[in-house]
Structure 1
Amino acid sequence: MSSIKTIKSRRVWDSRGNPTVEVDIILDSGEMGRAIAPAGASRGMREAIDLRDGGDHLRGMDVSKALDNINRIIAPALIGQNVEDQEAVDNIILSLDDSKLKSTLGGNATVATSLAVLHAAAAAAKKPLWRHIADHYGCTPSIPLPEIQIFGGGAHASGRVDIQDFMIMVPGADSFDEVMEVTSAVYFAAGEIMESRGKLAGIADEGGWWPLFDSNEEALETLVQAIEKAGEKPGDRVVISLDIAASEFGTNDNYRLALDEHQMNSEELVDMLGGWIDKYPIASIEDPVGEDDTEAMQEFTRRFGDRVQIIGDDYLVTNADLVEQAVKDKACNSVLVKVNQAGTVSESIQTFRTAQKAGWGAVVSARSGETEDITISHLAIGLGSEQLKVGSFNRSDRMAKWNECLRIQDELGADTFVGGRPMQSTWWGKS
């Protein structure tokens, strides 16, 4: 047994230049695990809350209260605990905060600590993190299919377009490396098209192009053109994935697309997205309606669930109970798994397993405020998740995670990549 000897916390900085929390777990054997808490801009109302100091200093974003909670409350409770028992350690962390959304300790404090424990356990076992995860949770590791942003919008690009993410996937690729090649071609083709038309404003939070489109649908049209410019046939090897993030521009039965100057109800929003599915090679849609609009989510799933992957993000906030309810409600058919949305590793994996048990998809995801931490690449591979959503093909906080997948693929072998399958046997092209 390897016991926790020391816990150190420090303030570091994320990809947006905001303070965040890093934790070191040092074991009695001398091994160490380290992890950093990410932060989201588009946040579900039921996800774990990052604890910030408030006030004028650092725009209220400092994390000294979260660090103090780690040093004063969490660390004393975890010293001497068996680092190999992730669930027991996470349960201790959960017992220290009786608030519903971890607002007392701070979700940033709990997730950095929980992830650091996972790293320390892998170090103690002298295994790569992905292998430790696979062994500990009884999973078959595999290299996931990336979901990669080309245009950033919504809260990630100051609302330049209302839709948050315009992404591509390359399910027809035979390896992760092939996905990277194709994505590179599409990404830079999109930038060239935008620049030639005066539509390029810069780079958004997650590394996607920051657009100056005149409508939301212009982004889809341009994305199809970029796929073609890259020498690909849209809907063949390359398909489109959207994160609508509808809660950012509407609530139950009341949505407003500011760019299009269009007000609509839930039925009209569902119809609009259905029209896009008919017109463009869209294989996956995330949060097509608001997090409080269950009837519309059920209707969207009823109409399109056999044609596209429907992911719940703000709608499910990496919560196993909400996934169970959504399965009963027949709302969504996949869940986005963000560890900091839940607050601990164990809660996140419980959500992943609940989705798998229901026959759903489970997409491991980064946040818009990221760091050099590459844990989620290992988590997706170790759990055998079929998809990984990290952001775009730009910014080192994103590329570090894609590059780690390439390194692990070298160890596991290209035949463990989940793509390269007959299109008719997968969710992105059911016959």
Structure 2
Amino acid sequence: MTIIQDIQARELLDSRGQAILECEVTLECGALGRAVAPVGVPKEMRDGDERRFGGRGVGLSLSHVRDLISTPLRGMDGLNQVGVDRALGNLDSIGGNSSFGVSLAACHAAALALEIPLCRYLGGLRGSRLPDPIVTLCRSSSGSRFGEFLAMSRKTGMRFKDKLRMLSEFSQGLLREFENRGVRFNQGFEGIDVLDVMDCDILDSMRAASEYCGYSLESDVAFGLARPLPLDMTTVESRSEGLQELLKEYPITYVELDWVKDEIASLSEALKGILVCGVSSSCNGRVVEMSSATTVTELLGKCDEVRCGGRKLVFSACGACGCDDSSASELSIAVGAEHVRFGSLFRSENVLKYNQLLRLEEMIS
């Protein structure tokens, strides 16, 4: 009943009008799993034909799903996810988007066949706790030492829906504060983009917005920073000193740093009590992107590696699937992530992932 009967794929559009790949896996019992391949997966395959989508079409991936993937996977047990993913890994030059799309679609089909949510199918008992949201408030392309400014709830024991409501109100309050201060901003692909504004001015606006919303920076909300300036735009000494200044002045509890081990270790005192995410072993957290693997099994393995290493797991799907696919919400629960990063609350493709977590909270509780 759970034997893979058919595999199909189609070319869709994401929220930017760019081509993306959607895959379908159908089991003998009639269960049909559907998933969109994340943008930016390893070995992602694009057509290169400038006459279609400026060379970014996925026609080759479509043909690979139908011609190279469908035949060897047809007849396999859809509940054998490891076996399905191993078979995908043994196929040469099929493209990471084709591989991950089919792998995730097979997961959806299997969960439907068993009549359980995807988070429970992949996560078992682990798939019963919702991660805490870290929301992107705004992005800066110039004038600041960090490219992303984030917010998160300090509340423990609060339901996900209340934390999300708090951050939504905070986001709206920041818009109002930018307007009052005459800050130049626009609605970009990833939310609010501010232009030529110093990071201190952005953080001051965030502080004022929290006061306007009636939230305490000691007990209700906290700030986060991501995407620090690369070394070709600053120096090691300058960016270390700049971060220390911000940590002293503002209630920052989360930082993403792609710095080397020694540089982070030199700030150990300033970073005490802060969740620092990066690849360095000096970091106490790690961000795992949904688009960082070519199969679901590989993605689960990356997440397990972080957790087994004693670090906090932040599951991210910022810009990974700019369309109406909320698989990332279920995956974030399945991998047992402590935090989730889906971007801002100003884009529908981000909001639908947060909304799916609201539905899952009702189901789990």
TM-score between both structures, scaled by the size of structure 2: 0.92
Structure 1 CA distance for aligned equivalents of residues 266 and 282 of structure 2: 8
> What SS is found at the alignment partner of 1:74?
helix
The answer for unaligned runs of 5 or more in structure 2 is none
Are 2:272 and 1:306 aligned? yes
Counterpart of 1:153? 140
Q: Which amino acid aligns with 2:7?
A: I
Q: Is the 8 A contact 1:147 1:389 kept in 2?
A: yes
Counterpart of 1:362? 313
Equivalent residues in 2 for 1:131-280 (5 A)?
A: 131-135=120-124, 138-154=125-141, 163-172=146-155, 174-206=158-190, 208-244=191-227, 246=228, 249-250=229-230, 254-256=231-233, 263-264=234-235, 266-280=236-250
Counterpart of 2:340? 388
The Cα shift of 1:287 comes to 2.7
> What SS is found at the alignment partner of 1:356?
helix
Q: Which amino acid aligns with 1:409?
A: E
Structure 1 CA distance for aligned equivalents of residues 355 and 298 of structure 2: 27
Q: Which amino acid aligns with 1:199?
A: V
Q: Is the 8 A contact 2:22 2:35 kept in 1?
A: yes
Equivalent residues in 2 for 1:29-178 (5 A)?
A: 29-40=29-40, 48-57=42-51, 58-97=53-92, 104-135=93-124, 138-154=125-141, 163-172=146-155, 174-178=158-162
Task: Evaluate the alpha carbon distance shift between residue 304 and residue 7 of structure 1 in structure 2; reply closer, same or farther with a 3 A threshold.
Answer: farther
Counterpart of 1:323? none
CA-to-partner distance for each residue in 1:93-125, whole Å, 9 max, x for gaps? 11213xxxxxx3222212211111111110111
The Cα shift of 1:161 comes to 5.3
Task: Evaluate the alpha carbon distance shift between residue 27 and residue 162 of structure 1 in structure 2; reply closer, same or farther with a 3 A threshold.
Answer: farther
Q: Is the 8 A contact 1:161 1:211 kept in 2?
A: no
> What SS is found at the alignment partner of 2:7?
strand
Q: Which amino acid aligns with 2:272?
A: D
Task: Evaluate the alpha carbon distance shift between residue 236 and residue 341 of structure 1 in structure 2; reply closer, same or farther with a 3 A threshold.
Answer: same
Task: Evaluate the alpha carbon distance shift between residue 161 and residue 15 of structure 1 in structure 2; reply closer, same or farther with a 3 A threshold.
Answer: farther
> What SS is found at the alignment partner of 1:117?
helix
Structure 2 CA distance for aligned equivalents of residues 193 and 134 of structure 1: 41
Q: Which amino acid aligns with 2:64?
A: N
Task: Evaluate the alpha carbon distance shift between residue 116 and residue 164 of structure 1 in structure 2; reply closer, same or farther with a 3 A threshold.
Answer: farther
Task: Evaluate the alpha carbon distance shift between residue 347 and residue 231 of structure 1 in structure 2; reply closer, same or farther with a 3 A threshold.
Answer: same
Q: Which amino acid aligns with 1:150?
A: L
Structure 2 CA distance for aligned equivalents of residues 278 and 107 of structure 1: 43
Q: Is the 8 A contact 2:313 2:337 kept in 1?
A: yes
Structure 2 CA distance for aligned equivalents of residues 345 and 129 of structure 1: 12
Are 2:291 and 1:340 aligned? yes
The Cα shift of 1:361 comes to 0.7
- The answer to which of 50-59 and 112-121 deviates more is 50-59
Q: Which amino acid aligns with 1:129?
A: L
CA-to-partner distance for each residue in 1:184-223, whole Å, 9 max, x for gaps? 22111111111223324321222x2121343233222222
Q: Is the 8 A contact 2:143 2:199 kept in 1?
A: no
Q: Is the 8 A contact 2:183 2:194 kept in 1?
A: yes
Counterpart of 1:296? 263
Counterpart of 1:410? 362
The Cα shift of 1:73 comes to 1.4
The Cα shift of 1:133 comes to 2.0
Task: Evaluate the alpha carbon distance shift between residue 188 and residue 200 of structure 1 in structure 2; reply closer, same or farther with a 3 A threshold.
Answer: farther
Equivalent residues in 2 for 1:16-35 (5 A)?
A: 16-35=16-35
> What SS is found at the alignment partner of 2:174?
helix
Root-mean-square deviation (CA, aligned residues, Å) is 2.1
Task: Evaluate the alpha carbon distance shift between residue 163 and residue 109 of structure 1 in structure 2; reply closer, same or farther with a 3 A threshold.
Answer: farther
> What SS is found at the alignment partner of 1:391?
coil
- The answer to which of 177-186 and 195-204 deviates more is 195-204
Structure 1 CA distance for aligned equivalents of residues 85 and 257 of structure 2: 29
Structure 1 CA distance for aligned equivalents of residues 96 and 143 of structure 2: 29
Q: Is the 8 A contact 2:139 2:193 kept in 1?
A: yes
Equivalent residues in 2 for 1:316-331 (5 A)?
A: 326=280, 330-331=281-282
Matched residues, number: 362
Q: Is the 8 A contact 1:191 1:200 kept in 2?
A: no
Q: Which amino acid aligns with 2:138?
A: F
